[in-house]
Structure 1
């Protein structure tokens, strides 16, 4: 039976949630409770308040079935419908058999850089719509076109289907960049969580190396569990249990050490594109993302590692709440713009 909260229309619940974030800081602190501190970090008040509301909602990212988990994320996306003020045109694209959506900000000149983006969701949930506002934000604030890729999901299409689709769509973008209105010498890959994993796979295995990589709290190694999986196992949106559920749906145990599943385990990362990699302090995936950044640096790759130490997994999707969420995404958009517009080819 649905809970009382689940019976509330998502649009109504969303208005309540957004209203809470307009309250004065002392009132928000009173609602959220005492500050949360762990591993020498203090959770942002904005994140703490959001976590309180998600607990009331009673949803988790993983579910008893893939269909249930997808319905939960579809409900959550209605909470945060805000888009940038600058209009963004969209059109559907067939990227050599992989569905995709092209975002073009109003007034953006032909020959702009292009970001090929892969949505998060543990390779099981998520789609073009769940990450629509993130793509719009990056398109507007980085002054780029964005090609968002609707790769196949597990368990219907287990590993390596998502990785193969990611490489196919990127290859299409490289071959058809001018048709997409983009500069073929300024093509980035990016993604969040499982999408960050796919972007890293493309950065390592694509025939034509991307010009930049934008990785939000990426999954880089599903073969082992690191310390942050223990520290932030529960209570911070993405849980250790969720990650186990996603990994079990996506990839069999005997293939998890393959670099296309765990790019951190690739023997040679030389030649990987210049990278902005951002982690969240209160995230089970924090340590593997930061270890990947260290491996890139050791391989001679230009990499900027940024830990948003007071935030949680998924903060990019929460930007419309403002505050620290928007600040963090704005910083990433700035890094993308700088990396593409000031890159070697430009």
Structure 2
């Protein structure tokens, strides 16, 4: 297979698996699982996949206590909190909308960097992108309409995107490159599993059917574990710029699956809002004369301490 076709196929597969995560969450919620149950299972299954991949690659879990401490904090903000908030938010918000709101992670990263003074590359074009991105979010919510989407569930979805941004800022400062990205990512998801087990008392009784079990299994193994591996391979083979393109496809996948499979209504206002959000995100990543290699802002899904992989995760802001 030609190289460009292989790369395109890998990108399409990665976008489909990541973008479908919102669909699987919605399906699991509709068939008997609570947000806490979905989050715990997802983290556990993702951990198992990454542990298997790490062992295959000959990588071992970190042994340094300080690294485990940093991974525990990263796991809280990059996995446990956003995974739970997506489950909570999708109880009443469509999966397609959830995918669009996830794309706001780079906007939160830029805003946090601007407020803390850690991002000095506040070029007018990036600030315009920031304003456009949040304007698009407001257009999606439409709080001026009685049928608007501005609810606590919707705000929890924005909270998930903001949590990713906090995690990436922390990871950029505290987690440095190492030679075992698979194992380190497995360790982070293992810590996230430990965090989420604290929510077991609130998980409620189990009433899943076969559809819910299938959905959460696919979400944990493919949507969390395998996607990290594919992302890692894409960055290694094609570079972070190509991999970052996947981030623009995630909302498209989530909206398409929600509409075609779950029958979710997609109005013109939501489509327009999505277009404005993605335009804003694109502008925040536009290279400027003061920064030849712009800092990435945004999600990642399983998390890693490998600097090159983390950079792309920040760009794509995977679920």
User: What range is the shorter-chain TM-score in?
Assistant: under 0.3
Higher strand content, 1 or 2: 1
User: TM-score, normalising length from structure 1?
Assistant: 0.26
| Larger RCO (CA under 8 A, 6+ residues apart) | 2
